[in-house]
Chains A and B, each alone.
Chain A
Amino acid sequence: MRWTIAIAAAAFAAASYANDIGQIKTVSGTVHVEREGQQLAATPGMNVRQSDKLVTGSDGAVGVTFLDNSLLSAGPSTVLAIDRYSFDTTTHVGQFDTSLQKGTLAVVSGKIVKQTPGAMRVRTPASVMGVRGTEFVVRVGEAAN
């Protein structure tokens, strides 16, 4: 019985590690991570998972580094969903889908796009952006200032 629990705990630990796809590196102002219906206050060093939603307040901004060295940041009053992320550290094959519902986003693409141009996509309410290795910014809605 004790062993079963230990094995289950180890398996869970391994699984949760595998779910971590990136890490929050910068936080300013109010920033939350929405995960499975919960609102978690974002802090530097916090892990990010697939299906997380980054939500910033009018004074907020957040930056995330992903496993493949893709960098993303969200500016004030932003809702950014991490829809899908996969990355094979050996082959560098992966897929990265996000959607910017409102606000601003900056992207520096990483190894996924280097290996497979177009494997990163950013959706907005009206568009889909296919990324072929680059840095770019996106805004949905009027400028706040």
Chain B
Amino acid sequence: METVLVGAVLALILALNPPPPPPRAAPQPVVVEPPKPPPKRANAVPEIVVVLPSADGHVGTVVVERDGEKVVLNQAYASSRIAGTSGPQVTQLPEPQVRKVFAPTLTALPERPLNFQLYFVRGTDALTADSKGELARMLEEVSRRKAPDVLVVGHTDTVGKPDRNDKLSLQRAQRVKADLVRKGIAAGRVQASGRGEREPIVQTADGVDEPRNRRVEISVR
């Protein structure tokens, strides 16, 4: 570590005061391994990273690592930039400026995926009365989107044998897929699968009639 530092300092001193060319009579000793020069920031392309608050106001964290230096950004509109010869700087930027500079990029972000849950009558692939309205809302959302794809995952409660529930959960998912295809969505854009009784919302013993577990989870993207 110390040798590297000394080396770096030496390199810097040499860079600032280049030594006169050595006289021919006194050959210089051969340098076997010169220390790594410090990073050339002067040539670096300017970069900037800005953390944004999410729609619900939550702000996450980005850890920016440059030349072994770490900078943690975890506040809304906190930014880290490099420009010219300076190292990473952390500053708080005004929101309008960020929104303006990145406007074309932010506009191109896809719509957030939206999730729906539909519930079923015990032992069947028939929707409960309440879920029929939710199905209509889901279909509307899919129609509204420009290039939608839909994930449909079916589930059951623990009544009946597991292999029978695997089939029933898939049947529920495929029923929803059929509704989507009827609505004009290409079958290739809908992925239907069944998880049987493996992922209950409410943990129960085997053989328990639990309406909240008889469901299909849909992600419209």
Which residues of A line the B interface, CB within 8 A? 23-26, 28, 44-45, 61-65, 69, 71-76, 102, 104-106, 108-109, 117-118, 124-143, 145
Contacts and interface: CB of A to CB of B under 8 A. Distances in A.
Given A44-B146, A69-B219, A134-B59, A25 B111 contact: yes
Q: Is the interface of A mostly helix, strand, loop or mixed?
A: strand
Interface stretch (B39-47, B134-142, B169-177): B39-47
Contacts of A45: 147, 149, 189
B51 A134 contact: yes
Which residue, B52, B60, B61, B98, has most C-beta atoms of chain A within 10 A?
A: B60
B47 A127 contact: yes
Contact of B49 (A44, A118, A136, A142): A136
Contacts of B29: none
Interface residues of B, number: 42
B112 interface: yes
Given A131-B62, A137-B105, 10 more contacts: A24-B147, A71-B110, A73-B106, A105-B105, A125-B44, A125-B45, A134-B62, A136-B52, A138-B50, A145-B101
A10 to B, nearest CB: 15
A49 to B, nearest CB: 15
9 contacts: A25-B110, A61-B107, A104-B102, A108-B109, A124-B47, A136-B49, A136-B50, A138-B50, A140-B47
A44 B146 CA distance: 8
Interface of B: 44-54, 59-67, 73, 82, 88, 98, 101-102, 104-113, 146-147, 149, 189, 219, 221
A92 to B, nearest CB: 12
B47 A135 contact: no
A137 B102 contact: yes
A4 B108 CA distance: 44
A102 B105 CA distance: 13
Which residue, B60, B73, B108, has most C-beta atoms of chain A within 10 A?
A: B108
Given A26-B110, A73-B109, A134 B60 contact: yes
Nearest to A131: B62
Query: What 6 pairs across the A-B complex have the smallest Cβ distances?
Result: A134-B60, A75-B105, A25-B110, A44-B147, A61-B108, A73-B108
A141 B108 CA distance: 19
Which residue, B45, B102, B107, B110, has most C-beta atoms of chain A within 10 A?
A: B110
Contacts of A140: 45-47
B146 A143 contact: no
Given A25-B110, A108-B54, A134-B51, A128 B65 contact: yes
